[in-house]
Structure 1
Amino acid sequence: MTVDTIAPPSAKHRMPIPDYVPAPLVRDIDIYDLDGIEEGVHEAWKKVQQPDTPPLVWTPFTGGHWIATRGTLIDEIYRSPDRFSSRVIWVPREAGEAYDMVPTKMDPPEHTPYRKAIDKGLNLAQIRKVESDVRAVAIDLIEGFAAQGHCDFARDFANIFPVKVFLALAGLPMEDAAGLNALAKEMTRPSGNTPEEQGRSLREANAGFFAYVAPIIAQRRGGTGTDLITQMVNSEINGAPMPEDKMLGLVSLLLLGGLDTVVNFLSFMMIYLARHPETVEEMIADPMKLQRGVEEMFRRFAVVSDARYVVEDMEYYGTQLRAGDLILLPTALHGLDDSQHDDPMKVDLSRRNVAHSTFAQGPHRCAGMHLARMEVLVMLQEWLARIPHFALEEGAAPVYHAGIVSAVENIPLVWKV
């Protein structure tokens, strides 16, 4: 069963409410099937964040877990691995326990040398070296349909541009993208209507990634190539060669991160811009405002909702937590928190003190953030240079999917040639 055919709420698997969870903190929230999602993923998450919503709520869906509803908590939990561990970062728990990629499921100090291995190829200096190549990919794609006066943005651009860039950095063929994308979707939006079914789906997808990368790792160990995979698998961990099982997890994580997040972020962003031509005009009139406004875009359109594992019994923001509880961190709710941002649903290119957790925080802050920022800036610059005025086709109905990484498809854009 796919996310598209997920069971209605009445048939969802509900967990009993633990004795220590007060009834006023219980909310029926399913990360994979948000109420009101037909209006948009971010709009649906924002409905969770009402003025009287407690900072922590409990849902009986997806195995039963807490949800942090305010930016302050989301930021703080990410930065506190001593209290909130990464040993289980997916919900339901069965999916999180099946997830076997590193270093995202590690805590410091074990996590640190693996993160350094990733940063070798994704640090800001390295990313600046490939900007002209990234720009060439964007230009080639946009000019391929600009004269047509229309495109399906998700299909014709967002699903190709960051994937093509990333596979080139990893030294992998573009023809592998379809199979890898299918695995990525099962990782971030695992199919099934019970925690056990979702756990099986994720375990199979995780195994699929490992099977794909194993021969590539074997080929590139000991190599001198400059691609991301060669750099990582030949990194030392605490003065010794990286263990093979950790190589599988590390390279798989690299591909998962590069294939699903920026793809969906771009699509959410372009739906908004197609509906708000005044924001597009601001970008065109002031290139510096466009450049500074990229961070505002990341605030507004966060797509990741991962979790943390409570290390020990504690009281947190007046709520009793038990060791082993999971807390979901919907990054969208940090950027959309009206206690931190005025009119948070609006993209304000002049906004100051933009606060968000779109790239997470603390030791697990996204290693690919420099690449993501550059991809978004380059894409906007080259798109607006060729297609400055565009809109959603009349009657367009984007299809939204919620999950560990939110997604959207069916984005028909039109413009005058």
Structure 2
Amino acid sequence: MGPVQSNEQSCPVVNLDYSAHRPQGEWIRTFDELRAEAPWYRNDFGPGFWMMLNHEGILEILQNPEDFSSSSVVAMDPDPAYRWIPEMLDGEEHREWRRQLAPAFSPRAIVRLEDRVRSWAREVIDRIAEQGSCDFMAEFAQIYPTTIFLDLMGLPAAELDTFMEWEHQILRSPKTEEGRVLRMRAMRAVTGYFAEVVARKRREPGDDLISAALRFRIGGKPVGEEDLLAFCLLMFMAGLDTVTATLGWSFLHLARNPEDRERIVADPELIPGAIEEFVRAYAIVLPGRKATRDTEVQGCPIKEGDMVLLPLNAATRDDGAFDDARTVRIDRSPNNHIGFGAGPHRCLGSHLARRELRIAFEEWHARIPSYRLADEGSRELLESGGQLTLTTPLHLTWDV
């Protein structure tokens, strides 16, 4: 991060590439430190954009879709050549997509997945348990939730490695011209793949989300091919990274804080609350919004067309909203965080994510109750390219 400066209007200014790799934990600390000095900044990196860094301001923007559009959700890409559906939709079109997708992600629908998810968690953990060690990210955090997602979408788990390579290029390529080329190439590869899947599902529909989307009607009309592929692309990205990233942060914390791990092993009833606290303290998403008119938020003079970066962890770790917000307390109550977002674009898959996380915690700690970090200090890097996730091996070890 470059030095904090001020312009003639006493606006704090930084030059900060938030997509860069940093040592584990440094991005969260950076946003904590900046928020302590000011609630918002002008970031001169790339095309330039605003950064809102406190709970009040971030919540205000997320809950005001009329003034802050989701037509662009990456702060350094104000005029994207792509449209992720339904994330990058506004107004009635967005509401129609959400209404038709809601039944598949409702609490009732997610409950029906319980046995399948739990069986899969046990299968993956059983393969690991007798080893006495693992790379948690590669051997569990990526395989467990992504296979569930692929099943929901009706996609073959055998192609997981290819999917993960595409996902990495889309979400984690550097915000450079070379990175943009890699990102667009991967998006084209994904949409080309899904074009074949959609054609197959039209001929032979199944009990999966893509087949369901073929029956959707938006604005009274069937969904067009381009929008179907844009929907598949978003589901692909969301399903392959979010729970994986949260598992990484959670188990890193538990490995470093054995007193918290021992508490949830002794009392599994603490697990749901612990998950909420990890989602709060290590909120992973850094969404952007685009101003539709000249406006002001907390004195920040935002002009029409300006982009605003909204790191959710900057909101969820704000002492103005949470008591001792930077301390992780697995029994924190109340815990009304916005780690899943807020407003009309709040995470549609939050019920599924919570259940996947709860089952992972329960099954892992029933099978491997005591574990620790191996080779401390030689591993975790944090990458931010829309999401904060551990990008190098998280080595855990335990006694067999």
Partner residue in 2 for 1:170: 153
Q: Tell me how far apart the structure 1 counterparts of residues 384 and 88 of structure 2 sit (CA, whole Å).
A: 22
Unmatched runs of 5 consecutive residues or more in structure 1: 1-8, 11-16
Distance of 2:231 and 2:18 partners within structure 1: 26
Indicate how the Cα distance of structure 1 residues 293 and 192 shifts in structure 2: closer, same or farther if over 3 A, else same. Answer: closer
Deviations 1:84-125 (A, max 9, x none): 00111113126x513321111111112111122322322221
Deviation at residue 173 of structure 1 after TM alignment: 0.7
- 1:175-231 deviations in Å (ceiling 9; x for gaps): 2222222222222223353xx444433332322221111111112137552111111
Structure 2 residue 255 is the aligned partner of structure 1 residue 255: no
Per the alignment, residue 256 of structure 2 pairs with: 275
Deviations 1:348-375 (A, max 9, x none): 1221121322211111111111110001
SS in 1 for 2:310: strand
Q: Which one-letter code corresponds to 2:396 in the other structure?
A: L
- In structure 1, the residue matched to 2:51 is 67
Are the counterparts in 2 of residues 71 and 337 from structure 1 also a CA contact under 8 Å? yes
Using the TM superposition, give the Cα deviation of residue 23 of structure 1 relative to its aligned residue in structure 2, in angstroms.
4.9
The answer for the alignment partner of 1:180 in structure 2 is 163
Q: Which residue in the other structure is 1:85 paired with?
A: 69
CA contact (8 A) 2:274 2:331 kept: yes
Q: CA deviation at 1:28?
A: 2.6
Q: What amino acid is aligned across from residue 384 of structure 2 in structure 1? A: A
Contact kept? 2:75, 2:289, Cα under 8 Å: no
In 1, the alpha carbon distance for the partners of 2:299 and 2:332 equals 32
| 8 Å contact kept, 1:221–1:234 | no
Q: Please tell me whether residue 225 in structure 1 is matched to residue 206 in structure 2.
A: yes
Please say if residues 92 and 198 of structure 1, whose CA atoms lie closer than 8 Å, have aligned partners that are also in contact. Answer: no
Provide the alpha-carbon RMSD of the alignment.
2.1
Quick one: which of 169, 191, 195 aligns to 2:174?
191
Q: 1:81 to 1:123 in 2, by over 3 A?
A: same
1:22 counterpart residue number: 9
C-alpha separation between the residues in 2 aligned to 1:401 and 1:378?
26
| Aligned match for 1:400, one of 377, 382, 396 | 382
Within 5 Å, which residues of 2 pair with 1:114-193?
114-193=97-176
Match of 1:32 among 19, 25, 30: 19
In structure 1, what residue type is equivalent to 2:19?
Y
Kept in 2, the 8 Å contact 1:120–1:232? The answer is no
Residue 302 of structure 1: how far off its partner (Å): 1.1
Sort the Cα spacing of 1:239 and 1:39 in 2 relative to 1 into closer, same or farther, 3 A: closer
Pick closer, same or farther for the CA change 1:192–1:360 going to 2, 3 Å.
Answer: closer
Partner of 2:31: 45
Q: What amino acid is the match of 2:380?
A: P
| Post-superposition offset of 1:151 | 0.6
Are 1:370 and 2:354 an aligned pair?
no
Letter in 1 for 2:166: L
Distance 1:192 1:351 in 2: 37
- Letter of the structure 1 residue corresponding to residue 56 of structure 2: T
CA–CA distance in structure 1, aligned partners of residues 373 and 329 of structure 2: 21
What is the Cα deviation at residue 254 of structure 1? Answer: 1.1
Aligned AA for 2:29?
E
Cα separation, partners in 2 of 1:205 and 1:62, compared to 1, 3 Å: farther
Decide whether the 8 Å contact of 1:334 with 1:355 is kept in 2.
Answer: no
Report the TM-score, using the length of structure 1 for normalisation: 0.89
How far 1:39 moved relative to its partner? Answer: 4.2
SS in 2 for 1:26: strand
Q: State the partner residue of 2:298.
A: 317
Shift in alpha-carbon separation, 1:39–1:406, aligned structure 2, 3 A: closer
SS at match of 1:298: helix
- Deviations, residues 233-273 of structure 1 (Å, cap 9, x unaligned): 22122332111111111111111110011111111111111
Query: Paired residue for 1:4?
Result: none
Alpha carbons of structure 1 residues 145 and 338: separation in structure 2 relative to 1, 3 Å? same
Say how many residue pairs are matched: 396
* Cα shift at 1:346: 2.5
Deviation at 1:135, TM superposition (A): 0.7
**Contact 2:286 2:311 (C-alpha < 8 Å) held by counterparts:** yes
